[in-house]
A and B are shown apart, each in its own frame.
Chain A
Amino acid sequence: MLQWTDEQYGRVARYLDGQPVDLTGPERDLAKEITDGEVLVTGGIDVRQLHRAMATARRQMSVALARPRRRKIFAACFAAGEVVAAAAVLIIMLTVRGMSPPAVTHNALVDAPLEVISSPANGDIAEQILLVHQDIDLLEAEICAPAIDFDQASFEIDELQFDLEELMNYEPPDFFLEG
């Protein structure tokens, strides 16, 4: 049996990687021996078990791919729910204000356009609805802008979890090492 040097192994390895290396006869035999090893290593996979495992993986992947969509819907519902709740509070406040004497004219609606506030139809329900709409828009903008990005937060948590696992694989702290 031939004893191979590191240099010879290196030459054959580079040849097998596709580099232009002129091999000697025995080196070519070694290259063939390595190439033939593929059958030895990869053969004998149970196809039924493979199909079963693939089916499971497909299902799990489909579920994982559907998850972000569900999160988006949840986030949208959450934001919409907050807006609706805020609008309801506002309507109640306006209704209460409408029943009280009109002594105070300066209130939280100062940001509304001047022409709307100074409109002769100030007491009309139509105007109040318009004001409510404007305030809903404002609230929506305030709520939605800094709202938590659920997708992003969830993704970042997953990433952290994965990175932690990677860290534990590569460089586990001493106190986690066995023995």
Chain B
Amino acid sequence: MDPQQLREIIASAQAGEAEGFQALLEAFGPRLYGFFFKATNDHHVVEDLLGEISLRLVKKLKKYDHRDRFEPWLFRIAANMVRDRIRRLASRPRPVSLSAIDDSGRPLGDRLAGQSESAESRMLSVEMSEKLTLALQTLEETTREMVLLRFFGELSFKELADRFDCPIGTVLARVHRALRALRKVMDDAAVD
């Protein structure tokens, strides 16, 4: 979406027009979905988060200053939501029966690693993608956030440096190391 078109959509949403908000959701929803999924690796949590951020957009957009770039503003909210969700999940693990059924009618137990009913039938690329997503979870939290904000939020390295209060070179160094770690996962998976 070109900047002028984005400005018009934001202005329309800030004026309270439903079409403006819906256009923003259509434009950024898939990227937000990717960001949330790669950060949490749980489709159910992602669905929650995407719904929640669409509500926050309705409430908070009035505060957005059009002189700033929209993506960093939006993905800052998204990153805070992920951090908050991970903290809450870590501090309050919910007991759940593995025989309980999830939304798609599958027993939750099937979602455990190694127990997926369709694991054998999945394509190698899908398997690799899952491994990469899992590998992303193993990155240090700040590094993972930098990587996701860079590639899903399309933040510049300067914006990342400002956000994380560190030199621009340090940001790239961390992203570079993270990508190397991910490539190694991919190479190992190919050998297996």
Q: Specify whether A and B are partners.
A: yes
Binding site for B on A (CB under 8 A): 4-14, 16-18, 30, 33-34, 37-38, 40-46, 49-50, 52-54, 56-58, 60-62, 64-65, 68, 155, 158-159, 162, 165-166, 168-170, 178
CB of B11 within 8 Å of the partner chain: no
> How distant is the Cα of A10 from the Cα of B21 in the complex, in angstroms?
37
In the complex, the chain A residue whose C-beta lies closest to that of B33 is: A50
CB-CB < 8 A to B34: which residues of A?
42, 45
B156-A17 in contact (CB<8A): yes
A61 touches B80 (CB 8 A): no
Contact pick for A60, options B55, B59, B157, CB 8 Å = B55
A44 CB to nearest chain B CB (Å): 2
CB distance from B94 to the nearest CB of A (A): 17
Chain B: residues with Cβ within 8 Å of the partner, total of 57
Contacts A54-B50, A57-B51, A65-B21 given; does A9 touch B130 at CB 8 Å: no
Contact of A17 among B128, B158, B169, B182 (CB under 8 A): B158
A40 touching B182 by the CB < 8 A rule? Answer: yes
Quick one: closest B residue to A58, CB to CB? B25
Contact B22 A61 (CB under 8 A): yes
| B residues adjacent to A (C-beta < 8 A) | 16, 18, 21-22, 25, 29-30, 33-34, 37-38, 43, 46-47, 50-51, 53-60, 80, 83-84, 91, 125-126, 128-130, 132-133, 136, 147-148, 151-152, 156-158, 161, 167-173, 175-176, 179, 182-183, 186
Contact of B54 among A17, A40, A46, A60 (CB under 8 A): A60
Chain B residues whose C-beta falls within 8 Å of the C-beta of A46 in the assembled complex: 43
Task: From the candidates A9, A41, A45, name the one contacting B182 in the complex (CB within 8 A).
Answer: A41
